[in-house]
Structure 1
């Protein structure tokens, strides 16, 4: 997405300071929140007790871009329903077709859609990795992506593979231990 400089660094640093200044309280509050909250992830990633705080003026500029992206998902569903060549491209079976056709009352566009991604280092530009849509779009893309991933022969890290997935939470824990 073309919007840069999304992080509100002064607010983020204040939140980080509050988290590392009282490590036991932070750990306890984080554990309570995780235990009480709904599970919405496939893999158990370490939870950062510090949220990514965004600048409202920059985040508001993302809304039209993300709205267009979600509308594009709806267009893909409409094309899937209308064109045999598009259905052939996805190679989904009858069970997926029934799921896609199960709820047409709200149209083709996703009515619940979580976009997973990250903020690019340096520019703080949003990079969308995938959509998790409770709509036909989720059904269309999940099977296609799973099929593509299954055909990958090597899963070993390459030059562009990010392997520091625990770096930020580890740094927070180290700072908390040092402050204790």
Structure 2
């Protein structure tokens, strides 16, 4: 949700770069957040994806995970031996990335329990809960006056380094 402009007619620092909904043709468009030119230059570059044998994707649990309760049941599998290895091999990278996925799985399950998406009466699909977590992270970034797009780019850069060793 985009904050409303202050009543005195001046844009607040958090809303001044945001475009309103709609355009000259009257069609609704999502709000866009534009980074300040000096901020855009300071962002780390996002490396292009590298596909090949060096990719260290987290291993798959090899079971269908259609409901968040099924993800909850896999938390022990994601924990593995409980350690990050930080080794520079494909095997160590896959192990560590499974652990990293497990950290996120713990957060997603906790969010589902807290919001009622996982309860005696509800058992949402993981995609719905993950998208809800992402939306709520945007709310958190707004409340802390952080640039979510910058955080997302930094996260993508970390992810690429962890997957491809870049």
More strand by share: 1
More helix by share: 1
Q: Which has the higher contact order (CA 8 A, sep 6+)?
A: 1
TM-score, shorter chain, exceeding 0.5? no
TM-score using structure 2 length: 0.26
TM-score using structure 1 length: 0.24
